[in-house]
Amino acid sequence: MGQVVEFLNVLNQEPWRFIIGAFAVLNLVLGSSAVLVMAERKVAGYFQLRFGPNRVGPRGLLQPLADVIKLLTKENTAPGRADMWIFLAAPIAMLLPVAVVWMVIPFAPETVVANINVAILFFVAITSVGALGVIMAGYGSRSNFSLLGALRGAAQMISYEVPLILSLLGVVMLTGSLSLVDVVNAQGGGFWNWYLLPQLPMFITFYIAGLAETKRVPFDLPEGESEIVGGYMIEYSGMTWALIQAAEFAGMALMSAMTTTLFLGGWQPPIAFLDLGQFNWIWFAIKTSVVIFTFQWIRWSIPRLRMDQLMDLGWKVLTPLTIVWLVVTAGAMLVF
Partner 1 sequence: MLGEERKLREGAPTLSGRVSARLANPDIRDEFGLEAMDMNMGPQHPAMHGLLRLILELDGETVVRCDPVMGYLHRCQEKIAENRMYPQIVPLTDRLDYLAGMMNEHGYCLAVEDLLDVEIPPRAEYLRVLVSELMRLASHIPSVGFLMLELGAFTPILYAFREREQIQSYFEAICGARMMFHYIRIGGVKADVPEGLLEEIYEYVDGLGARFQADLVELVVGNEIYISRTKGVGMMTPEQAVEIGVTGPPLRGTGVGFDSRRDYPYSVYPELDFDVITDDAGDVAASFRVRIKEVFESIKIIKQVIEKMPEGAVLGDTGRRLRPKEGDGFGRVESPRGEFAVHVVSDGSDSPYRVHYRDPSFANMMLLQEVIPGHYLPDIMPIMGMIDPVSGGWDK
Which residues bind to partner 1, rule: CB under 8 A?
Answer: 44, 47-50, 144-145, 148, 152, 217-218, 220-221, 224-229, 300-309
User: Which of residues 70 and 306 has its CB atom nearest to partner 1 in the complex?
Assistant: 306
User: Which of residues 9 and 50 has its CB atom nearest to partner 1 in the complex?
Assistant: 50
Q: Report, in Å, the least distance between residue 78 CB and partner 1.
A: 19
User: Which of residues 147 and 323 has its CB atom nearest to partner 1 in the complex?
Assistant: 147
Four-point Cα dihedral 192, 170, 120, 218, nearest 10: 90
User: HSE of 73 in the Cβ direction (CA atoms, 13 Å)?
Assistant: 6
Q: Report, in Å, the least distance between residue 315 CB and partner 1.
A: 16
Q: Report, in Å, the least distance between residue 152 CB and partner 1.
A: 8
Q: How far apart are CA 195 and CA 174, in angstroms?
A: 9
Residue 108 β-bridge partners: 111
Q: Report, in Å, the least distance between residue 263 CB and partner 1.
A: 24
User: Which of residues 47 and 281 has its CB atom nearest to partner 1 in the complex?
Assistant: 47
CB proximity list for 166: less than 8 A, separation 6 or greater: 205, 319, 322, 323, 326
φ, ψ of residue 108 to 5 degrees: the values are -155, 170
Q: How far apart are CA 156 and CA 141, in angstroms?
A: 20
User: Which of residues 45 and 188 has its CB atom nearest to partner 1 in the complex?
Assistant: 45
User: Which of residues 300 and 315 has its CB atom nearest to partner 1 in the complex?
Assistant: 300
Q: How far apart are CA 295 and CA 208, in angstroms?
A: 10
Q: Report, in Å, the least distance between residue 111 CB and partner 1.
A: 38
CB proximity list for 318: less than 8 A, separation 6 or greater: 160, 163, 167, 205, 208, 209
Q: Report, in Å, the least distance between residue 150 CB and partner 1.
A: 13
